[in-house]
Amino acid sequence: MDARGQSVKCGKVDSRESGSIAPALLAWYDVHARSLPWRMPPGANRADPYRVWLSEVMLQQTTVAAVIPYFERFTTRWADVAALAAAPEDEVMAAWAGLGYYSRARRLVECARVVAARGGFPEDEAGLRALPGLGAYTAAAVAAIAFGARAVVVDANVERVVARLFDIDTPLPAARAAIREAADAITPDARSGDFAQAMMDLGAGICSVRAPQCLICPLRAHCRGRARAEQLPVKPPKKAKAQRIGHAWWIERDGAVWLIRRAASGMLGGMRALPDDGWNARVDGSGAPPIPGDWREAGRVAHIFTHVALDLVVMVSQGDATPDGANELKEGEWWPLDRLDEAGLPTLYARAAAVAMARKG
C-alpha cells in the first residue's frame, strides 16, 4: 500500500507521487544541506566543475570525513584543473597517499591533462563520460551539480534511499535497473544538482544503513518500504576475501631507507613502497629477500583490500643496519629517514615502516 492507501507494485512510480517527492526533498535540503568545501549553497544551480569532479573522484569508496582534508590540500596546492594537469604524476601520487584506490590518482592526472588540453570540462553527460576515469555516476554528478543539467545521479546513498522509498526488494545488483528507473522518475528538470545532493545527504544522515531515522525523514509520507527499511536494499551474501601472506624488507643505510616504485598496474600501482616479495601476485609468501642479510621478523601488518586480506611480515636485518649487497640495489632510491613522511607511502607501507623503525629504536 502507498501513502494514500492505494495498492502499488514494488518499484513502480506513480506520476502524481513522483511530482511531490522532489519539492518535499528540496525544501528539506534548503534548510539542512551539509556544508562541504566543494559545494555551493542550495539554489546556486552551478558549481566549479573542477572542484565537483575532484571531490567525486576522491569520494569513491571513501568517507566524506576522510576526503575533506585531502580535498583542501589538493585545491590549495593545485587550485584548478590546469595546475593539476601540469603537476608531476609522482607528486600527485604522493599527495594522494593514504586515500587508497591509487589507480584513481593516476586517472586523475590523465583526466586533468585531457581537460586542460581541450580548454575545460564538457558540459553534458556524454562528453564527460568520454573523459578518462569518469564512469556513469561521476559524469552524471558533474553534469548535474556543476552545470545544472538534468542527470540521474545514483550512488550508494541514493541507491539505498530509492530502494526503500519504492520498496524495491530485488537483490542487488539485479535491482539497479529498477532503482535507476525510479530515480529517473523522481529527478526534477530544475535543480537536479541540488536534488542529487539532497538524496546523498538524506542517505548519509537520515536514511542510513542501520537505524534510519524515519520519523524525521522528509519523504516518510511517500516511503513504501519504511516498515522494513533496514532490510532494503537486499544485498547478496558477502564473498570471503582471499588471504595472502607477504614479506617486506627494511633496508637502511646512512640515515636512509631503500624504497622502490611499484609497477603502474596492479595494487598500489605507481606508489613508492618497501621492496617486497610480490605478494600481490602470489599467495604463499615464500619470496626471497632482494639482497642477502641476517633477516629477522620485526612484526606484522594486517591490511584489508577490496578483495584481499593481507598479512605483511616486516623483515629487518640484524647487526649492521645495512645488509650485505646493499650497494648492488637497483631500480629504487635511498630516501632520508627524516623525510619519510614526504615519500607518499601508501598506508600499508607507512605502517610497515613504523613497525621496522619501532623495532630498530
Give the domain ranges of the chain: 15-231, 242-360
Burial class, 184, CB count within 10 angstroms (exposed 0-12 / middle 13-18 / buried 19+): middle
The fold of 242-360 is Nucleoside Triphosphate Pyrophosphohydrolase (3.90.79)
Cβ burial of 142 (10 Å; 0-12, 13-18, 19+) is: buried
Choosing from 56, 125, 159, 252, which is the catalytic residue?
Answer: 56
Burial of 281 per CB tally in 10 Å (0-12, 13-18, 19+): exposed
Q: What is the pLDDT of residue 312?
A: 93
- Asked if the 15-231 domain carries CATH number 3.40.1710.10, the reply is no
DSSP structural state of residue 282: -
**Catalytic residue flag (residue 56):** yes
Give the other-Cβ count within 10 Å of 328's Cβ: 9
pLDDT at residue 74, rounded to an integer: 97
Distance, in Å, from the CA atom of 259 to the CA atom of 271, rounded to the nearest integer, reads 10
How far does CA 231 lie from the centroid of its chain? 25
C-alpha cell at 274: 618497501
pLDDT along the chain (361 residues), means of 10: 38 68 96 96 91 95 93 97 94 87 88 97 96 94 96 95 96 95 94 95 95 96 95 89 89 90 81 87 64 88 87 83 73 91 89 88 57
